[in-house]
Chain A
Amino acid sequence: MAAAEGDFYSAAMEWHFGPETGSPFWLSKADSLGFDPRRDVRTHADLRRFPNVVGELRNVPVEALIPRGYGDRPDVIGAFDSGGTTGAPKRVLLMSDWMRHSLTWKSLRMDDLGFPFDANWLTIAPSGPHIFGRLMAEVTRMRGGICFTIDLDPRWVRKSLALGRTEEASRYADHVVDQAHSILEQQDIGVLVVTPPLLVRMAESDRLVDLVNEKVSVIMWGGAHLDADTRAVLQGEVFPKVRLCGQYGSTMILGGSMERAGSGKPAGQCVFDSFSPYTTFSVVDPDSLKEVAEGERGQVVMHHVSKSLLLPNNLERDLATRVAAPAGALGVSVADVTPVAVFEEAQVIEGVY
């Protein structure tokens, strides 16, 4: 395992810091890092040596992020924004090879979790500039179903809430839920993808609850936090026969982690495993930024190391409990993810997303 870890990071650093293959963004930084990634980065722990550069993704031209090794005609699916929960959005590129690769992994996790094959999906998620809706539409295709989509504009909702216009945010949520109602009423839907605030809103309508219980076999939530108590009410009382599964991710790691299936998770907890070794988590003390011990809570750090992108050490806006990663996986897994109240001097405002 240690040998595999070393081989993985050697190859990744060769690629991202080789003059022929690395991106202009990283190559221009190589001299100022104070270490030589190609020589010094051999383990997951070594990633912590990198500076957190996500702030620079607010204004770097996205072309500079493409590794030169992709050649003259890189297959770019598109540019996507971070959520923008804490200030101006950060932008990254989604390459087609990474999308295929990561969604194949995700689809296999869905098999573990008992997702149906050939079922139609109703995805209530943002399309551009966010990555969530796009990935969900693709994964439906891979799993043989037809994808119904309802777009969301979480940026507008956050803006409304920041201005104290809760009534407006609420009307917008109703507008989205009405669209879901119509599709659920008229079509055969087996999988529902939705954000927790909208799922809670849907749970307030008896008719919608009946429709979901009658037709849907899996609800996959993501894009915002779901506290353990609300999850218990949703699963235990509102949708007792529907399987509730979470995904937790970030545009900054170009995808999500999936809830751990079946056994192996502490009682009542929702544990997320990342797509190791490409996407990994650390959990750190918010003040010292040192890693916390297993079972303790701290702030989540995400790392992305793939052919398409190198983005280590991204301090996310969430708190979580550190849980042991599955055997052979790098980094840690996270449980009971909740928002931190204050981040980068800006108040975190969550809304429908």
Chain B
Amino acid sequence: MAVIPRLDTLGPSNTFRSHRVDEVTGVDGTALAELSLAPGLYVKRSIAKMRKARPMPLSVRIDRIAAAGARFLRTVDGVSLDEHERQVSQASGVALSVVREASQAIVRSAAAVGESVRRARPLGTGDDWHEVSSTGAVWTRRGDVLAVQAPGNHPATHAAWLEALALGYRVAVRPSRREPFTPYRLVQALRMSGFGAEQVTFLPTDHTVAREFVDTADLALVYGGSDAVARYRDRGDVLVQGPGRSKVLIADGDWAEHVDTVVSSVAGFGGTACVNASAVLVDGEAAAFAKELARRLAAVAVVPPASEAAVLPAFPLERARELETYLRSELDGGELLSGGELLEPLPGGGAVLRPAVVLLDRPDPSRLGIELPFPCVWVAPWSPADGITPLRHSLTVTAITGDEELLASLIEETTIGNLHIGDRPTHEMRPGLPHDGHLAEFLMRSKTVIRGDFAHH
């Protein structure tokens, strides 16, 4: 029997091998790793120690993050990139090809982190107070330690906290039990590239200690569902990354031209990201569009995630059943179009859910807001009379329309995070462009510096 790897904490002064552990299992049920669980006292002491550490100079941080990106692609702690990517795929169910793309995305973000944080800085502020000769403003941190309660849905989400590290935060990452491999590798790569142990840590905990983790750090970045949003909504020190509910609006009179954009928006990245579209509004012939979309999505291969052809994510069988049951319970008269049985059990264990298209007879905002972790999209007719109400509360809206007035109202709508105009998929992202605002808008503030002459004696 193969030896199951043990992921211990990577604390600021030591690693900790706990008595109590979480088991990390693949979607097919195989045991992949054991995860040490840090007790609350260890977490608090770690964060206190990180708070006392001083960050390295900005340019050094940026160089070392870039180096860590390159390091990520090589063998880290005896684990090759290929081995790592297979573990991630098996644990999270994300298709291997998507995991490989994510590795490259992490590397690109690491290489561009200096430029990314520079773009987030207000024009009127500088990085260094020494540069203020009489009056000016500097971009300063709101705290010292950022706690990241990380997700396990997609490995590239970990690129986000690299920006905090670049801004001088000490970053403590609590991995998801579902997929702890990516942050474990990234923290190791950062340390191999010159970040001190007190600058970046890997602190797995159980759910009870997770609350202490968030409360103990100065600021926290929490990924989660509606429950996490509800818990932390009123906290100025916590930034919650909840469901994305991204949408596409086709309102230029010719839907047939834009099916590719929608297929990509729905199934790109395997449909597991918050930037995947979960709703499409069509001005005219919504039913015909939905059928064509379903036909195109039915061509996506239904294969195990490790297969080279795989795009779709896999789930433990029980979880896949829950998702199907939930989807069916929410149909409420909507027509489910999928190319075959929704749930396809995999020979080796686990299951894949076929892409699902649900045709609604009207743009009902509550159902348009149902986001599931596989390609699942709600299609509804839309007319200018419906206005932008059904498009509200979206991380990204792709608007295919030439109506300037409509576009202007989408830009001004406060509950829409990003606007893509024309045939640009909802998941299109690049370093330097804000994802849900710039992370720096949460982490930093502008501070006035006014300098007078010293009275010399």
A residues lining the B interface (CB < 8 Å): 200, 203-204, 227-230, 232-234, 237-238, 268
Q: Give the CA-CA distance A120 to B19 in the complex, in Å.
A: 34
- Give the shortest distance, in Å, between A15 (CB) and chain B (any CB): 43
Q: B residues bordering A, Cβ < 8 Å?
A: 13-14, 16, 18-20, 37-42, 44-45, 48
By beta carbon, the residue of chain A nearest B21 is A229
Q: Which of A204, A229, A268 contacts B39 (CB 8 A)?
A: A229
The answer to whether B19 and A229 have CB atoms under 8 Å apart is: yes
Q: How far is the CB of B63 from chain A (nearest CB, A)?
A: 33
Q: Is the CB of B39 within 8 A of A233?
A: yes
- Tell me, in angstroms, the Cα distance from A203 to B13 when the chains sit together: 16
* A195 vs chain B, min Cβ distance (A): 14
Question: Given contacts A233-B45, A237-B45, is CB(A200)–CB(B40) below 8 Å?
Answer: yes
Contact A200 B41 (CB under 8 A): yes
Which of the listed residues B16, B19, B45 has the most CB atoms from chain A within 10 Å of its own CB?
Answer: B19
List chain B residues, Cβ under 8 A from A227: 19-20, 39
A-B contact pairs, 12 of them (CB 8 A): A200-B41, A204-B41, A227-B20, A229-B20, A229-B39, A229-B42, A230-B39, A232-B18, A233-B39, A233-B41, A233-B42, A233-B45
Give, as a whole number of angstroms, the nearest-CB distance from B113 to chain A.
33
> Across the interface, which residues of A come within 8 angstroms of B40, CB to CB?
200, 230
One of B18, B20, B41 near A234 (C-beta < 8 A)? B41
Name which residue of chain A comes closest to B43, CB basis.
Answer: A233
Asked if A233 and B16 make an inter-chain contact with CB atoms under 8 angstroms apart, the answer reads yes
**Minimal beta-carbon separation of A349 from chain B (angstroms):** 13
Q: A229-B20, A233-B42, A237-B14 are in contact. List 14 more A-B contacts (CB 8 A).
A: A200-B40, A204-B45, A204-B48, A227-B19, A227-B39, A229-B16, A229-B18, A229-B19, A229-B38, A229-B39, A230-B40, A232-B16, A232-B18, A238-B45
Does B41 lie within 8 Å of A230, measured CB to CB?
yes
Determine which residue in A230, A232, A233, A237 has the highest number of CB atoms from chain B within 10 A of its CB, and name it: A233
* A-B pairs, 3 with minimum CB distance: A228-B19, A229-B39, A230-B39
Q: Give the shortest distance, in Å, between B380 (CB) and chain A (any CB).
A: 41
A200 to B16, CA, bound (A): 17
- Selected from B13, B16, B19, B44, the residue in CB contact (under 8 A) with A268 is B19
Residues of B near A203 (CB, < 8 A) are: 41, 45
* Chain B residues closer than 8 Å to A200, beta-carbon distance: 40-41
| Residues of chain B within 8 A of A237, CB atoms compared | 13-14, 42, 45
**Of B13, B14, B37, which is within 8 A of A229 by CB?**
B37
Inter-chain contacts of A228 with B (CB < 8 A)? 19-20
Point out the residues of chain B lying under 8 angstroms from A234, CB to CB.
41
Q: How far, in whole Å, are A229 and B37 apart by their CA atoms in the complex?
A: 9
Closest residue to A269 on the B side, CB-wise? B19
Complex Cα–Cα for A83 and B451 (A):
62
Q: How far is the CA of A223 from the CA of B16 in the complex (A)?
A: 27
Closest B residue to A206 by CB, please name it.
Answer: B48
Complex Cα gap A24–B37 (Å): 52
**Cα–Cα, bound, A229→B14 (Å):** 14
**Distance, CA A234 to CA B41, complexed state (A):** 8
When chains A and B are docked, how far (Å) is the Cα of A197 from the Cα of B378?
Answer: 50
Distance A237 CA – B48 CA, assembled complex (angstroms) = 14
Residues on B with beta carbons closer than 8 Å to the beta carbon of A229:
16, 18-20, 37-39, 42
When C-beta atoms are compared, the residue in chain A nearest to B18 turns out to be A229
Q: Closest chain B residue to A338 by CB distance?
A: B20
Is A232 a contact partner of B19 (Cβ separation < 8 A)? yes
Which residues of A lie under 8 Å from residue B41 when comparing CB positions? 200, 203-204, 230, 233-234, 238
Complex: how many Å from CA A230 to CA B18? Answer: 9
Smallest CB separation, B237 vs chain A (Å):
16
